[in-house]
Amino acid sequence: MTSITKPKVQHPANLKNQIGRTRRDYEGSMSTLCAGCGHDSITAAFVDAFWQLDIQPHRVAKLSGIGCSSKTTAYFINESHGFNSVHGRMPAVATGANAANSGLYYVGVSGDGDSLSIGLGQMCHAIRRNVRMLYVLENNGVYGLTKGQFSASADVGSKSKKGEANIQSPIDPVLLALTLGATFVARSFSGDKAQLVPLLKAGLRHGGFALIDVISPCVTFNDHDSSTKSYLYTRQHYHEVASVDFVPLQREIRTDYAEGQRQPVMMHDGSMVHFRKLEANYDPTDRAAAIARVRSAQERGEVVTGLLYINESGMDMHAINNTVETPLVDLPYSTLCPGAAKLDALMEEYR
């Protein structure tokens, strides 16, 4: 615990969203992570994103696996449904939950150990199925709860707290997702809330699997001088290529970028994502270009961030399955059981 439990009082002057809720309504239990942990900043960004989107708290399902990152589902939106499952298996639970009830907002919170080692296969297959969910990978390059082992995202040459250098090549979730056909791929930094909040909002409204890899420094085990996932290193090598302004369907707002720098993309529900192109020739709807840009940046030791790729025309799991619009959990039993007469008739086929 890093601080005392916050009192539940609501200040009357707290700003309310369209459904009459304040930010406090989107907060969760007190974080038990280390003071200064990047994950807590991401949690704060979640609070803002859900609040700004006017989402009913109880219509949110938060899922996670095991690890520091996975603990954070308890730290936002108390009034939602959380599921802290088993290590690396959150994508399967989210897939089943979404299969059963397509009507909720799904957010998965995972880490680099959870997603890139023990759960690598699960993440890949959730991408393949295009399960409609926001999947946030809180990436710090290290195992925190077991005290400082390298994770699969640790860069070559990056040193552990004890001074040992990593020599195995890292798995980059962004490149992986891009090659797997993911329809929404972004990278951000826990220290850049201004960039992260719109990304989370766009991801929540995406019509399929939205991956956001968030560099989130581990202050205890991986924030030293020789780490490539430290606050300092990330700030120094941070390069935003295409940021977004998320514009919900009901609340069109004007953005103030010069023409030519803006690229609007319509989300499946009619909302708009406006790309703020920081590089004139970057096209976030071109998968091959996105892969090439990420690779070229890595060669220079840069961390490219922003919404790197989006495709709103992909079919999600239910579209592929051709499931009814009504969530399966809401179908009355009478529509599911064929009844005695049909069974009697069917028996003739087994004669």
Partner 1 sequence: MPGVNDFTLKIGTVNGTGSASANGLLMQAIFRMGIPVVGKNVFPSNIQGLPTWYEIRVNKDGYTARNAPFDLMVAMNTGTYKRDVAEIAKGGWLLYDSSWPLPKALHRDDITVLGVPLGEMCVETFGGDRERTLMKNIAYTGALVGLIDIDMDVVMGMLHEKFSKKKHLLDSNDKALRLGYDYVKKHFKCPLPIRLEKMDKTGDHILIDGNAAAALGCVYAGATVGAWYPITPATSLMENFNAYCQQFRVDKETKKKNFCIVQAEDELAAAGIVVGAGWMGARAFTPTAGPGISLMSEFVGLAYYAEVPAVFFDVQRTGPSTGMPTRTQQADILSIAHLSHGDTKHLMLFPANPEECFYLAADSFDIAERFQTPVFVLSDLDIGMNDWMCRRLKWDDARKPDRGKVLSAPDLEKIEKFYRYNATNGDGIAARTLPGVHPKGSYFTRGSGHNKLGGYTEDSDEYREVVDRIARKIDAAAESLPAPEIITHKGNTVGVITIGSARGAVMEALDRLRDDGLSLDYLRVRAFPFSKAVHDFVASHEKCIVIEMNRDAQLRSLLILETGVHGDRLESLLEYGGLPFGTGQIIAGIRGILEGVKA
Interface ranges with partner 1 (CB under 8 A): 56-59, 61, 63, 73-74, 78-86, 89, 91-101, 103-104, 121-122, 124-125, 129, 317-318, 321-325, 328-329, 331, 333, 335-340, 342-344, 346-347, 350-351
Q: How far apart are CA 29 and CA 19, in angstroms?
A: 22
Q: Residue 64, Cβ neighbours under 10 Å: how many?
A: 27
Among residues 331, 328, 292, which one has the least CA distance to residue 308? 292
CB of 148 to partner 1, least distance (A): 22
Q: How far apart are CA 12 and CA 10, in angstroms?
A: 6
For partner 1, the closer of residues 59 and 235 by Cβ is 59
For partner 1, the closer of residues 194 and 341 by Cβ is 341
Q: Which residues of 244-281 are buried (b: 16+ CB within 10 A; e: fewer)?
A: bbbbbeeeeeeeeeeeeeebebebeeebbbbbbbeeee
For partner 1, the closer of residues 104 and 175 by Cβ is 104
CB of 5 to partner 1, least distance (A): 12
The answer for 306, left when phi > 0, alpha when psi is -120 to 50, beta otherwise, is left
Q: How far apart are CA 3 and CA 34, in angstroms?
A: 10
CB of 20 to partner 1, least distance (A): 13
Give the number of C-alpha atoms closer than 13 A to the C-alpha of residue 113, restricted to the C-beta side: 20
For partner 1, the closer of residues 51 and 246 by Cβ is 51
Q: Give the bridge partners for 64, in sequence order.
A: 84, 109
Q: Residue 332, Cβ neighbours under 10 Å: how many?
A: 8
CB of 56 to partner 1, least distance (A): 8
Q: Give the distance from CA 149 to its chain's centroid.
A: 24
CB 240 within 8 A of CB 306: yes
For partner 1, the closer of residues 30 and 171 by Cβ is 30
DSSP run (H or E) holding 304: strand 303-310
For partner 1, the closer of residues 37 and 60 by Cβ is 60
CB of 77 to partner 1, least distance (A): 9
CB of 25 to partner 1, least distance (A): 10
Among residues 70, 72, 80, which one has the least CA distance to residue 50? 80
- Supply angle C-alpha 317, 333, 340, rounded to 5: 120
CB 71 within 8 A of CB 32: yes
CB of 55 to partner 1, least distance (A): 12
For partner 1, the closer of residues 28 and 306 by Cβ is 28
DSSP 58: G
CB of 90 to partner 1, least distance (A): 8
CB of 172 to partner 1, least distance (A): 21
Tokens 């890595």 locate to 298
Q: Give the bridge partners for 60, in sequence order.
A: 105
For partner 1, the closer of residues 92 and 241 by Cβ is 92
For partner 1, the closer of residues 87 and 159 by Cβ is 87
